Structure 1
Amino acid sequence: MSIPRPRKIVLLVALVATLALLCCGGSVTALLVGGLTDEGGDELVSSFGCGKGGPIDPDTKLPRIRPYGGEQIRNAAIIINTGAKLKMPPRAWVIAVATAMQESRLNNLGYLGARNDHDSQGLFQQRPSSGWGSPAQVRDPVYASTKFYQKLKTVPGWERMPLTRAAQRVQISAYPDAYAKHEPIATQIVNMLADGAANAVGNSLTMVCASAGQIAASGWTLPASAAVGSGFRTASRPNHQGVDLIVGKHSPITAAASGIVSKVKCDEDHSGRRTCNVDGYPGKGGCGWMVEIQHAGNIMTRYCHMVTAPLVHEGQEVTAGELIGRVGSSGNSSGPHLHFEVHLNNDRSSAGAIDPVRFMREQGAPLGEAG
């Protein structure tokens, strides 16, 4: 059954386009993609309803999302539509699209002789010799997508796994960590082709926007259910590289997305002291007890001012929503709150910091919601 496409707003855009999405509470958010066009010129496609409008029909005119061309985007649409017809939740669509991006760059690979990995073919490089089906079957995008989802469904707890681990359990690849880098663009493609579905609750078929305590299909969730206080680089605090989430002492702090803990420490104050087991004060300096996590797409999140030593250690793999510490007031702090930062390119410096409010809206996990 063909599902009508979301309404399109035609605009001129620069080389790096902004994908506008109307998410959750009615606020407009933007996802940066590597260029968004279709055969008729550059355009922005507005998506509504966190997936309520359903996926785009692959047989209609589709947009292009650089660096992927029309046929590649059509294959992504087939993957998404197949998942919807199989009643797989939107998190599965993101995993499947990211997997196909790694395996084939969304190309339906035929037999390439020695250039094939053994006899791997199709969108997911499925091997007929390993029981995935005949060569003709694995080159059928609907069949290949169906087999991927069927195998994913047998993986216990796949919904809460890091994307790369869930994909690896299906694919058994020689490069098990390669899938992670595709997660941000796969999320954008799903939002683009399925009415913002990556902003919906990831493991649910209800297609409602993720709210406090829930994990969106993008794989992101709130680090704390709290109001937003001091903002990112405000006029009064131009060097404030994150936002303050105002919540009571000992409230839980959770990982905003799956990743690897890269830093756990008691941050030095301006005097070079590490005194984190006591409340801090304005001007003391330092983050107090803090954690940094590296996520897919070279994104890093930072969590500051914990009340005691964090509950995780460096090198630990954490999943979205996993408890990593509790809110406190250590370091440069005037009261209990979570200072939360988002950095691009795994750049820990201020040069890598971006506005967490905007970023989290784009992931379908808008800050400021209380549980």
Structure 2
Amino acid sequence: MSIPRPRKIALLVALVATLVLLCCGGSVTALLVGGFNNDDKNANLNASGGGCGKGGPVDPDTQLPRIRPYGPEQIRNAAIIINVGADLKMPPRAWVIAVATAMQESRLNNLGDLGARNDHDSQGLFQQRPSSGWGTAKQVRDPVYAATKFYNKLKTISGWERMSLTRAAQRVQISAYPDAYAKHEPIATQIVNQLADGAANAVGNSVAMLCASAGQIAASGWTLPVGAAVGSGFRTASRPTHQGVDLIAGKQTPISAAASGIVSKVKCDEDHRGRRTCNVDGYPGKGGCGWMVEIQHAGNIMTRYCHMVVKPFVREGQEVTAGEIIGRVGSSGNSSGPHLHFEVHLNNDRSSAGAIDPVKFMREQGTPLGGAG
């Protein structure tokens, strides 16, 4: 018996929803099925923002979530970009890169010819230039066509999956402002998660998605600093001033940058007696972080890595990518044994006022701490 196409789509959604693994407390289905074009205002998008795995079709004109500072038409354009990526079998990391790029280029507006305000002949969501071979002016103003051209160019870039978002976007766009894309990564991640049921929390392809383990980078751009069990937690009753978590790993275990960014601090932290003695094992009550690194990431997020066994492998001002090895686990400073003390701070605030719970934060990025290496 022949199954009608709408029924086939419904069965596919149900099948994948059954097979998909629960990631970080919510399912990661990310299936925007059913194509549409720029003229189809009533097209159905499988855009669920709840992470509950229902993924039912919605009316994009009335039911798409409102994600500040973007309006309904801008969010609809983001949904088109995501849908094209899914149709092309591009992984969710590509969706985040594409949405962030369009945020920078057009604020997710499908711009036409702006006359004197145009950057040369750039038009559309991605400000693609007909004179540079992207297509005709009419074509680049078609969001489906423009997104397809973006993804097809991204595919040709070797190793784009492990690049920082700004580097991957720049390789496609060749922009005069190559560092401008990074600031959009957090909201682009939020948009993908809300429109595609948590897809930015996943690694792998757009159908079979898993949470990231050590060495894998989630679509959010984050990865585990080490694959290790969580020991002492964040601001516990017994340690209320503990501003991070301890990840229990053996001495010399490689430590990865949790996301792409710029190294802002590398030092041997002083102990309570003002000494910088980081090349030896520490002890409880000694004080200080030992050998440590701080990295500033997109969205004014900072991560801190403490108690390394030897001087870190990076220098201040160095650009690092997610997963890049920055040092090795040790027990220097205020430490009772080998582990990585890992902190996450908001607003690039190095003080305790900026610290947040790394367990909750990393789970939201699709990289739950405690994953095996």
* TM bucket normalised to smaller: 0.7 to 0.9
1:268 pairs with 270, 292, 312, which one?
Answer: 270
Where does structure 2 lack aligned partners over 5 or more consecutive residues? 14-20, 29-47
Deviation string for 1:137-195 (max 9, x for gaps)? 11100000001111111111111000000001111111100000000110111111111
Aligned partner letter, 1:26:
G
Which residue number in structure 1 is paired with residue 296 of structure 2? Answer: 294
Aligned partner letter, 1:256:
A
Aligned partner letter, 1:348:
R
Contact 2:261–2:296 at 8 Å: present in 1 too? yes
Which residue number in structure 2 is paired with residue 26 of structure 1? Answer: 25
Q: 2: CA distance between counterparts of 1:138 and 1:306?
A: 50
Which residue number in structure 2 is paired with residue 124 of structure 1? Answer: 126
Deviation string for 1:183-214 (max 9, x for gaps)? 01101111111111111105675322323332
Q: 2: CA distance between counterparts of 1:276 and 1:310?
A: 11
Contact 2:27–2:51 at 8 Å: present in 1 too? no
**How has the CA–CA distance of structure 1 residues 353 and 154 changed in structure 2, closer, same or farther, with 3 Å as cutoff?**
same
Deviation string for 1:69-112 (max 9, x for gaps)? 11000000000000111111111000000000001110000111
Mapped pair 1:333 → 2:332: no
Superposition RMSD in Å = 2.4
Q: 2: CA distance between counterparts of 1:218 and 1:25?
A: 13
TM-superposed CA distance for 1:48, in Å, is 3.9
TM-score by length of 2: 0.86
Name the count of aligned residue pairs.
Answer: 340
Contact 2:26–2:51 at 8 Å: present in 1 too? no
Q: 1: CA distance between counterparts of 2:59 and 2:283?
A: 56
Which residue number in structure 2 is paired with residue 36 of structure 1? Answer: none
Q: 1: CA distance between counterparts of 2:89 and 2:185?
A: 21
Q: 1: CA distance between counterparts of 2:362 and 2:59?
A: 28
Select between 342-351 and 273-282 the one with higher mean Cα deviation: 342-351
**How has the CA–CA distance of structure 1 residues 55 and 294 changed in structure 2, closer, same or farther, with 3 Å as cutoff?**
farther
2:113 pairs with 111, 114, 117, which one?
Answer: 111
1:47 pairs with 12, 36, 51, which one?
Answer: 51
Which residue number in structure 2 is paired with residue 62 of structure 1? Answer: 64
Which residue number in structure 1 is paired with residue 141 of structure 2? Answer: 139
**How has the CA–CA distance of structure 1 residues 81 and 204 changed in structure 2, closer, same or farther, with 3 Å as cutoff?**
closer
Contact 2:203–2:218 at 8 Å: present in 1 too? yes
TM-score by length of 1: 0.86
Contact 2:203–2:219 at 8 Å: present in 1 too? yes
**How has the CA–CA distance of structure 1 residues 274 and 312 changed in structure 2, closer, same or farther, with 3 Å as cutoff?**
same
Residues 60-209 of structure 1 correspond to what in structure 2 (within 5 A)?
61-201=63-203, 206-209=208-211
Q: 2: CA distance between counterparts of 1:267 and 1:344?
A: 21
Q: 2: CA distance between counterparts of 1:89 and 1:258?
A: 18
**How has the CA–CA distance of structure 1 residues 82 and 214 changed in structure 2, closer, same or farther, with 3 Å as cutoff?**
same
Contact 2:49–2:195 at 8 Å: present in 1 too? no
Contact 1:58–1:78 at 8 Å: present in 2 too? no
Q: 2: CA distance between counterparts of 1:104 and 1:318?
A: 28
Query: Helix, strand or coil: the match of 1:239?
Result: coil
TM-superposed CA distance for 1:23, in Å, is 5.4
Q: 2: CA distance between counterparts of 1:55 and 1:159?
A: 29
**How has the CA–CA distance of structure 1 residues 71 and 27 changed in structure 2, closer, same or farther, with 3 Å as cutoff?**
closer
Deviation string for 1:261-310 (max 9, x for gaps)? 11111111111110001111111111000011111111110000001111
Residues 236-251 of structure 1 correspond to what in structure 2 (within 5 A)?
236-251=238-253
**How has the CA–CA distance of structure 1 residues 259 and 205 changed in structure 2, closer, same or farther, with 3 Å as cutoff?**
farther
Aligned partner letter, 1:213:
G
Aligned partner letter, 1:241:
Q
Q: 1: CA distance between counterparts of 2:235 and 2:118?
A: 50
Query: Helix, strand or coil: the match of 1:297?
Result: coil
Query: Helix, strand or coil: the match of 1:294?
Result: strand
Q: 2: CA distance between counterparts of 1:257 and 1:203?
A: 20
Q: 2: CA distance between counterparts of 1:54 and 1:271?
A: 61
TM-superposed CA distance for 1:259, in Å, is 1.1
Select between 207-216 and 68-77 the one with higher mean Cα deviation: 207-216
The percentage of counterpart residues that share the same residue type is: 86
Query: Helix, strand or coil: the match of 2:210?
Result: coil
Query: Helix, strand or coil: the match of 1:101?
Result: helix
**How has the CA–CA distance of structure 1 residues 326 and 192 changed in structure 2, closer, same or farther, with 3 Å as cutoff?**
same
Residues 346-357 of structure 1 correspond to what in structure 2 (within 5 A)?
346-357=348-359
Contact 2:27–2:198 at 8 Å: present in 1 too? no
Q: 1: CA distance between counterparts of 2:50 and 2:102?
A: 25
Select between 359-368 and 310-319 the one with higher mean Cα deviation: 310-319
Q: 1: CA distance between counterparts of 2:206 and 2:293?
A: 30
